[in-house]
Amino acid sequence: MYAPSPFGVMLKEMREQLGLSQDELAEVLNKTAQYISNMEKGKNKSPPDDSDIQKLISRLELDSENSEKFRMLAYADRGMLPPELFNYVSGCPPLIGVIRSAMKNNVSPEYWVKVLNSIVKGRTI
């Protein structure tokens, strides 16, 4: 039994909001409706590449916030970070240490919001 991933769920919701069939969306990628169906159902273990993600974002008419979410979910489906995030994080060993420490200590998302807000405001915690 397959379970839809958050990416598959978002893909289906956005497609249905526009009233598009799986066939119509598949045409954008030169794929089959079965390919779209498999992604929506969580059967496709290799979501689209970056070029196809961009084509889907355009066809689904996603705003910038939903575009970023869609892209992040697509990469998460592959167990990856988008290339620009991977490059930044892998090139910054102290950041990797911070992330490992946060994971070890179960740092909450709310705490990270405080950290980011204080950085933006030029303060320290």
pLDDT tens, residue by residue, 32-47: 999 999 999 988 766 6
pTM score of the predicted model: 0.76
Half-sphere exposure of 75 (CA within 13 A, CB side): 15
Judge whether 26 and 32 are in contact, CB under 8 Å: yes
- pLDDT range class, residue 52, cuts 50, 70, 90: very high
Residue 71: pLDDT over 80: yes
**Average pLDDT taken over every residue of the chain:** 90
Judge whether 8 and 43 are in contact, CB under 8 Å: no
Give exposure, 21-32, as e/b (b: 16+ Cβ within 10 Å): ebeebbeebebe
Q: What is the mean pLDDT of residues 20-43?
A: 94
Instruction: Give the Cα separation of 95 and 63 in Å (integer).
Output: 29
